[in-house]
Amino acid sequence: DQQVKQNSPSLSVQEGRISILNCDYTNSMFDYFLWYKKYPAEGPTFLISISSIKDKNEDGRFTVFLNKSAKHLSLHIVPSQPGDSAVYFCAARAGSARQLTFGSGTQLTVLP
Amino acid sequence: GAGVSQSPRYKVAKRGQDVALRCDPISGHVSLFWYQQALGQGPEFLTYFQNEAQLDKSGLPSDRFFAERPEGSVSTLKIQRTQQEDSAVYLCASSPILNTGELFFGEGSRLTVL
């Protein structure tokens, strides 16, 4: 039973436009959410996070939105750049637990 | 280097062989994690160390999997009597003790069991 779901395996966006990556979760104990970015043959790298006490967190071109009632979060990238092409993983953590639960990832392709 | 280092990067094993995967975390990071990533999936938690103490091994799929971190730095993930379903990328990550969830991942060790 997947507790963190990324239902879109892939997404293509034109350079300069907005990329929106979505993530749903089922475990109501999750209270901290993260996005990781992964290039081929590299490990995932941390991108941005959000606590459940907030509904938005922004860092430069990246904004994460959290809708607790819908158990949904999204990552917005504006403007998208070709270097943003990568696999994006949504991850969640519950309370004092140390481990993260990851989604299956979305391959973002930004077309020049 | 300053990042998490894993070796070997690629390992091919015959079914039934034992393998050992090494992780050298970022200096000073007391927390160390092992994750397993199957093809087309996200990383799945295997085990967690704080210094040399293995505080959570709930994700290890069977007793063929064993991890250690005897001196609180380098860690080894050992898989005994490998099976085809063990084929995956094994990711090691470290973090400072007061981290907020941000993990620093290595490049992973890709294991292929024939």
The answer to whether the CB of A98 falls within 8 A of the CB of B55 is yes
Burial of A53 from C-beta contacts in 10 A (0-12 / 13-18 / 19+)? exposed
Rounded Cα distance, A98 and A92, in Å = 10
Please name the amino acid found at residue A68: K
Going by C-alpha positions, the residue among B33, B27, B26, B12 that lies closest to residue B82 is B12
> pLDDT category, B98, cuts 50, 70, 90?
low
Kindly state the greatest CA–CA separation across chain B.
Answer: 41
The answer to whether the CB of A60 falls within 8 A of the CB of A43 is no
pLDDT at B96: 86
Q: Which residues are paired to A22 by β-bridges?
A: A74
Rounded Cα distance, B92 and B106, in Å = 6
Under an 8 A CB cutoff, do B91 and A46 touch? no
Interface test with A, best of B10, B31, B33, B41 (most A CBs within 10 A): B41
C-alpha distance from B56 to closest chain A C-alpha (Å): 9
Give B42-92 pLDDT, tens digit per residue.
Answer: 999 999 999 999 999 999 999 999 999 999 999 999 999 999 999 999 999
Structure-token pair, residue A53: 């006490």
> pLDDT category, B1, cuts 50, 70, 90?
low
> Does A66 touch chain B if contact means CB atoms closer than 8 Å?
no
> Does A46 touch chain B if contact means CB atoms closer than 8 Å?
yes
Of A3-12, B1-10, B90-99, least confident by mean pLDDT is B90-99
> Does A101 touch chain B if contact means CB atoms closer than 8 Å?
yes
Give A36-59 pLDDT, tens digit per residue.
Answer: 999 998 999 999 999 999 999 999
Better-scored residue on pLDDT, B20 or A97: B20
C-alpha distance from B81 to closest chain A C-alpha (Å): 26
Rounded Cα distance, A85 and A73, in Å = 20
How far is CA A47 from each of CA A17, A102, B103, rounded to the nearest angstrom? 19, 14, 10
